[in-house]
Amino acid sequence: MRVLIFDAGISNAHSIAKALRAADAAADVRTDLTLLPSADCLVLPGVGAFGPAAQALAPYREALRTAVTQGLPVLGICLGMQLLFDRSPESPGGGLDVLAGEITALPTRRRPHMGWNRLAVGPDQPPLGLDWAYFAHSYVCHPADPAAIWATTAHDEVRFVCALRRGSVWGVQFHPEKSSRAGIAFLRRFLREVRCG
């Protein structure tokens, strides 16, 4: 199984590669898309702001979007999840536009939100496989489709989406690579579902 971690210079892709190795997967960290046609799944990590990340992603946007809309499983992590959407009113630039909705600043007293939070899985949603996860972010997503919301969490009494899923498109606001053994188990689950597809 070939896992492609796309590194557009907006993340510490090697941290997620290490976590995927711990989850028994071989992952290729690449700054180009030469392996995209042969990849079994795509992992899109990211840290920072939507605008600069969208600018870094722009040369690869159409190829990535085409692959994902044609069924390539993708896991977006933190900013990587936000880039699955089209836009953020807070920043210029366009994401991959594979999910409808927008990205806005987290409307809390304390920002960024950093630390461990309990996750609440939505009704009619399958278990995530972890109850707590580590977060480091200042922005949140607002999916247009409520059925895509997998789980939420809260910071300063503001509840927001922290995991979403629509078909083979998965996104998490938390960092599984920083979420101890439960985070590794979550990555294993993603990989298992990709294999069983």
64-97 pLDDT tens trace: 999 999 999 999 999 999 999 988 887 777 899 9
CA 33 to chain centre: 18
139-190 pLDDT tens trace: 999 999 999 999 999 999 899 999 999 999 999 999 999 999 999 999 999 9
* Pairing of β 169-172 and β 74-77: parallel
pLDDT of residue 77: 96
**Helices 180-196 and 13-22 sit at what angle, rounded to 10 degrees?**
80
Q: Which pLDDT band, with edges at 50, 70 and 90, does 108 fall under?
A: confident
pTM of the entire predicted model: 0.94
The one catalytic residue among 113, 137, 155, 175: 175
Could you confirm whether 41 is annotated as catalytic? Answer: no
The yes-or-no verdict on residue 197 having pLDDT over 70 is: no
The one catalytic residue among 41, 78, 141, 162: 78
pLDDT of residue 20: 93
Could you confirm whether 175 is annotated as catalytic? Answer: yes
Q: Which domains does the chain have, with CATH numbers?
A: 3-196 (3.40.50.880)
